[in-house]
Amino acid sequence: MKHLLTLLTLFFFVASCSIIGGSDGYFPEKKYDFLKEEIEENIVIPANLNSLDAENHYPVGDPSNLENVLEVPKPRQIFSSSGDSSVQLRRLGELMWIYIETLPSTSWPISKNYWDTSEFDVTKADPVTGEIDIDFSQSSKLQMRVEHGIKEASTEVFLYKINKISGDIESDPEFIQMEMEKMIDYYADSLSNFTGTSLAAQNLNEMKKAKIFTQDGMTVISLDLNFDRAWSSVSKALNAAEIVTNDRDRSNGTFYVSFAEKDQRRFRLFGGKNSSDNSQNNEFGGDSQFEITITQENNKSYVRAISKDGNIEESEILLSKINESLS
């Protein structure tokens, strides 16, 4: 009896499988259907559709002239090809640098490894100063400098072509940009897989380009930048912090801005009136008026905020906002 029940169970199991997955089942097996396919005639393209009507963004020259081409040029880019905005190529005039959103102690081993694995010889690599010298040619060398950026916990990488005899920097912006475009993809790819840091390069983390301090009772931002770059950086910081710029005088290094803390703006928006408000403040919707000045002394730029009302506390808050938005 037990054997009979076993046989019946086995029979129903096999029958159910054929009903579900057989050729006539609910879920027929189709992995061999391609063997039954028949070859159809080739698609005939109409004569008026046999050419690609589209703009050629990457044209290729005459093949007969390609024998001297060593490398196909890539389209110039600002961000890494992976779309990672934490690695960017930035430029101000002829000055170019790579911006990386990580500490220099993390960027240093990646930078050194880039050149160690290149076709060129590294003649010097100093993690204390962040300088790497590369033997480029008989007359020139390349020097990379890894520095702390303006923004907190950021890195700026510079590349210079230097004459070996005179020691002067050779102006070759096209070459520098081409080399930096190769480097930004390497940084982006390396940062996604790299979690280490260089203990020898920890000193670079302390060499910040932007510092805020108090001098004679006034808050000041010190920027280790020339005037041109300091002016550009402060201008971008004002926009990033959504501080209204009413006017600017670059020759005197002055921005004329309106600023109020969010709580004050909300209070005035609903009809409130601050006891310190006057007709001059109301000219720009009730916000306090300031002059942001940039002066250069001893190869450094200093940013100060002067309130037209003499409000030192608001001046300090304004400079803190600017300092947080520097990049």
pLDDT for residue 282 is more than 80: no
Beta carbons of 162 and 169 less than 8 angstroms apart: yes
85: nearest Cα among 13, 194, 184, 205? 184
* Mean pLDDT on 92-98: 90
pLDDT at 38: 76
pLDDT surpassing 60 at residue 270? no
* % of residues, the chain, pLDDT over 70: 70
| More confident of the two residues 131 and 276 | 131
Q: Per-residue pLDDT tens for 283-305?
A: 344 578 999 999 999 889 999 99
Comparing 272 with 28, which gets the higher pLDDT? 28
Asked if the model's pLDDT at residue 54 lies above 80, the reply is no
Contact 163, 140 (CB under 8 A): yes
Domains of the chain: 87-204 (3.30.310.50), 210-325 (3.30.310.170)
CA 87, CA 277: separation in Å to the nearest integer?
45
Tokens of 234: 């402060």
C-beta separation of 259 from 290 below 8 A: yes
Neighbouring residues of 19: CB distance < 8 A, sequence distance ≥ 6 = 25, 26
The answer, as to whether pTM is greater than 0.75, is no
| pLDDT score recorded for residue 223 | 96
CA distance 80 to 191: 12
Look over the chain and give the mean of its residue pLDDT values, rounded to a whole number: 80
Give the residue, 49 or 265, on which the prediction is more confident.
49
- pLDDT digits over 58-75, tens only? 555 565 655 555 555 444
**Does position 200 have pLDDT exceeding 80, yes or no?**
yes
At residue 278, the pLDDT reads 41
Output the pLDDT for position 41: 78
Mean predicted confidence (pLDDT) in 13-17? 58
